[in-house]
Amino acid sequence: MAVCPLFIALLTFKEPIWGWVAAALFILASITDWFDGYFARKYGAISNMGKFMDPIADKILVASVLIMLVSLERVGPIVVILLLVRDILIGGIRSVAAADRVIIDAKATGKWKTALQMVAIPAILIHTEIFGLPMYEIGRVLLWVSVVLSIISGYQYTQLYFQSRANQQSS
């Protein structure tokens, strides 16, 4: 979350180098987020606050960058709206589930959605070709694939919540 203001500042500059810097910072933030979770699990340093704040920090980072990319006309607003609506919906479901003492584990589609976003966003930020590969176009396609996975995983989380609730009530 702490790097979000820096992203916003970097993306206000028009020179291509700042897109590269923003992409590098985004990749660094993504890697450190992964390592944070890995080491928390490895050393048993998992806390309720960490479980709560980690997905929120991820969403704030991704939402900040995507909103800035809309303002730069690199990403359409529909993509961002669909991704944000899903994330808000899942956040609400997780809150209700927690209040009902229902645990909804992360599913593969949600993890793939996140992984694709972590690749797509830097590619869009770079906004140029690398070794003849059109990074911007690749990033946009990957972002749309993440939207599809986002919708699927949103449906899965919703179904899991209602199934868990039904199982809990029948017990």
Q: What does the pLDDT read at residue 67?
A: 93
Q: Are 156 and 88 in contact (CB under 8 A)?
A: no
Domain 4-170's class? mainly alpha
Per-domain residue ranges for the chain? 4-170
- Per DSSP, the three-state class of 133 is strand
Tens of pLDDT, residues 84-139: 999 899 888 888 887 887 777 777 888 899 889 999 999 999 988 899 999 999 99
Tell me the whole-structure pTM to 2 decimals.
0.84
Which amino acid, one-letter code, is at 132?
G
Distance from chain centroid for Cα 93: 17
Band the pLDDT of 50: cuts 50, 70, 90: low
